[in-house]
Structures are given as C-alpha cells and as structure tokens.
Amino acid sequence: MTAGSDLSGFDLGAYRRRLGYHGPLAPDLGTLRTILAAQAAAIPFENLDPLLGRPVSLALPALAAKLLGSRRGGYCFEQNTLLAAALQAIGFRVTRLAGRVRWMRPAEQPEGPRTHTLLRVDLDGDVYIADAGFGGHMLAAPVRLAPGLEQALPASRVRVLLAADGFLLQAALPAGWTDLYRFTLEPQSEQDYAAANWFTATHPEVLFTTSLLAERLTPHSRDTLFNRALTSRFADGSVRQRTLTDAADLGAVLDELFAITPPADPAVIWARLGGSHPAPPAPG
C-alpha cells in the first residue's frame, strides 16, 4: 500500500496505452524495470504549468487527464504520484518518500526543503527506490537500496551511500560521482506531498516558476531542455548541444522531440524563459 493516500480506482488500461506497453504485468522486478523504462520514454518530465502560473493538481482524475489523456508530461510530484498509483494497481507494495535535492548545488550550500518525491518498493525481501520524476537526470530503472553498490541503469550509473540523516543517491558523470538527492525512509502522507507540491509550483523564486525544464529518456537518447539550451546525449556516447532560436523553434522541439502539446502558445512560453545554461540547477 502507499502510505497516507488512496490511489484506488486507477485506470491501469489507460496507463498501459499511454506507455505503449501491452505485455504481462506482475508485482515482480521485471515488471518494475519495464514500467520505469516505459514511463521515462513515453511521459516526459516538464514543468510548463508552474512556469505559466497554472495550478498543479495531484488528484488522480486530474493527473490521468493530463498525463494519460493528452500529450503532456509533469514534474516529480505528478510523475511519481502516477507511478505509485500504477504500481499499486499492479500489486506492488509502495511507500511514498521525499528527498532534499543536491543536484548541481555547491557542497557548501545549505540543504533545501524536501521538495523531491521518490518511492520505496518492497519486493522479495529487498528494498528498491523507484523514481520517475528526477528532471535533469531521469532514472529509467529501479535502484536497489544497497549502500555502496554501483548499479548500471539505462543511460546511468548510480549508487546509494549512507548519510548522517539517511541516504544519498549519486550518479556517475564525466566529472565524477555527483549528488542527486538525500532521502530518508520516513513515509510521506498525501498532505506532505500536497504542501510541498504547492510550494514548488507557486513560490516566485523556485526553479519551476522561473525556468523551463523538460527531459525525455528513451533507449535512443536522453534529451534535456533548460530554458533555451537543448542537450541530447545519445546511446553511442555522442552529445549534441544547441541553443533554441525563437518561439517557433521551441514549439517544434516540444512537439517533435518531447512529444508535448503545450498548454499555451509557444510565444507565451518563450517570453517566460531565462537565458541558456549548460546544465539545469537543482530540479525537484
């Protein structure tokens, strides 16, 4: 069950159709891996609603309408609430967790609030972290909670370390091991998520109300857009970067690369963007 929330009534058929997956489903590790890879490829990470001052609802009917019924994605609260509902419908034992993002933050910078969501999945005597919503470095497979163990994921190599207040998830980048986020195993309630989601979607100085971040992770490439800076990292190791030129370019990239139909004219979105940046600051 998922701590502190009612995720009953989830339309698993609509979720399967959105992911384009029609194979067998069972509460096992193979299914968990399949679901995470398929969600990362089919439902992009994006924060267009907070950027445009639009509300972000975590109610399942609203999430289904947005993420399953239209060409939209969402950020961590939406992605992982959807994932939790799907996993519970399949029969997994799921607990909602929260983390403090360290991605692209200087080591001396104070810890921020718990504004990232992740899921604990208990399976066959092991504990796994399932996270479909870490924009900037999406994860397309579960991470076994085994401190110190280096784990190969699609387009990622990660490890979990013990930290003074719980655990630290890191990813191996060309510059070395890089912190993603700190987390504990304290269950989070629906109210915990609602409060953190409201802050993340409405505070005038947080990332998601001031900048655009979109990401999609497929077997072919990891495509990341931060404001006007577009980076594609391909499965063969090559990297392509460019800066978007205008609103029409933005609209084409959202449509063709990220499979997003934006909720406003691209010109409106373009006017909200900051300057290009080589890598996104801390996502949620």
Condensed to tens digits (0 to 9), the pLDDT of residues 7-37 reads 567 999 999 999 999 999 999 999 999 999 9
Exactly one of 49, 116, 192, 223 is catalytic; which is it? 116
Residue 2 has pLDDT above 60, yes or no: no
**Residues 139-173 pLDDT 10s:** 999 999 999 999 999 999 999 999 988 999 999 99
Res. 280: pLDDT tops 60: no
pLDDT digits (tens, 9 = 90+) for 54-113: 999 999 999 999 999 999 999 999 999 999 999 999 999 999 999 999 987 777 777 889
Q: Which of 16, 37, 12 is nearest to 222 (CA)?
A: 37
HSE at residue 254, side-chain half, CA atoms within 13 A, is 28
Class of residue 24 by CB neighbours under 10 A (exposed 0-12, middle 13-18, buried 19+)? exposed
The residues that bridge with 43 in the sheet, in sequence order, are: none
Catalytic residue among 6, 28, 124, 131: 131
Indicate if 137 belongs to the active site: no
For residues 223-251, average pLDDT:
97
Buried b (16+ CB within 10 A) or exposed e, 93-128: ebbbbbbbbbbbbeeeeeebebbbbbbbbebeeeeb
> Does pLDDT of 4 surpass 80?
no
131 is an active site residue: yes
Per-residue pLDDT band for 131 (boundaries 50, 70, 90) equals very high
Confidence (pTM): 0.93
Contact between 40 and 51 under an 8 Å Cβ cutoff? The reply is no
pLDDT above 80 (res 189): yes
Measured CA to CA, the distance from residue 111 to residue 12 in angstroms comes to 37
In degrees and rounded to multiples of 5, residue 215 shows phi and psi of: -150, 145
Give yes or no for residue 264 having a pLDDT over 80: yes
Indicate which residue of 11, 22, 28, 76 is catalytic: 76
Active site residue 122: no
Classify the C-alpha dihedral 4-65-42-38 as positive or negative: positive
Contact in structure between 113 and 17 (CB atoms under 8 Å)? no
Q: Model confidence over 265-276: pLDDT tens digits? A: 999 999 999 654
